[in-house]
Amino acid sequence: MDAVGERRHAPRKGVTLRVDYVDEGGRANIGMARNLSPGGLFLEPSTTLSPGETLALAFSLPTGEPVKGKARVVHRQNGGVGLCFVALDQTPDESLHRLQAVCSVPSSQEKPPARPGIEARRHARKPVAFRVDCACVYGGRRGGYVATGLATNLSPEGIFVRYAQELPLGEIVTTTFVLPSGEPLRLRARVVHHGKGEGAGLHFVDIKENPDAARLLLTCCQ
């Protein structure tokens, strides 16, 4: 058994990392890693992957170091799949060193500092992973632009969209997404902050005029 495989049962560390992957049918997709160990990760959402399937995947560690390789689906659970690394582009020793270094850092040391100028949130945010389309018109220009990103957390008041750095602060955008429960929503939101190299925090501005949407969001986030 290779060195990576020997550690597939190592304790896993909670993370939120974008994962780009290609399945055995050649279909490219994006998911979110929710935990990570030197031997594998848990990927969600995933409704089409089956145990035994091998994926080509790429992601960046919280330290910014890129990881590429192959992983096998070992189980399905709660809308996601557990993956076991079977081959990584780096040498086994180098790959394990990087993964072990990341997984050994206590989560408390990774908590980002509070961002100044952001109002205290009334509701805790729920981790999610689904596509969000953000339609905006920069500075009132005609034509508009649609930025597509991946929602990583959600509350009845707003949403964080990863890889939406191009959205300017203060811009009003129209967000379109489907909740994990299957209900589609279309809400206007203001860009209130940028995550460092991560994405944009959006605050819903018309939620009071949409009681049905407010109810769905509250139910989803409970």
Residue 217 tokens, joined: 């969001």
The residue type found at 124 is A
Homologous superfamily of domain range 5-110: predicted glycosyltransferase like domains (2.40.10.220)
Name the residue with higher pLDDT: 132 or 148.
132
H or E segment to which residue 93 belongs? helix 92-103
* Weakest mean pLDDT among 22-36, 122-136, 159-173, 179-193: 159-173
Grade residue 74 by pLDDT with cuts at 50, 70 and 90: very high
* pLDDT score recorded for residue 123: 61
pLDDT of 156 above 60: yes
- Whether residue 154 contacts residue 125, with contact meaning beta carbons closer than 8 Å, is answered with yes
* Domain residue extents for the chain: 5-110, 126-221
Q: How many CB atoms lie within 10 A of CB 81?
A: 26
Instruction: Check whether 20 has a pLDDT greater than 90.
Output: no
- So what's the pLDDT on residue 71? 93
CATH topology of domain 126-221: Thrombin, subunit H (2.40.10)
Q: Picking from 27-31, 62-66, 104-108, 187-191, which range would have the lowest pLDDT averaged per residue?
A: 104-108
Q: Find the length of the chain.
A: 222
Q: What is the pTM of this model?
A: 0.47
What SS3 state is found at 196? coil
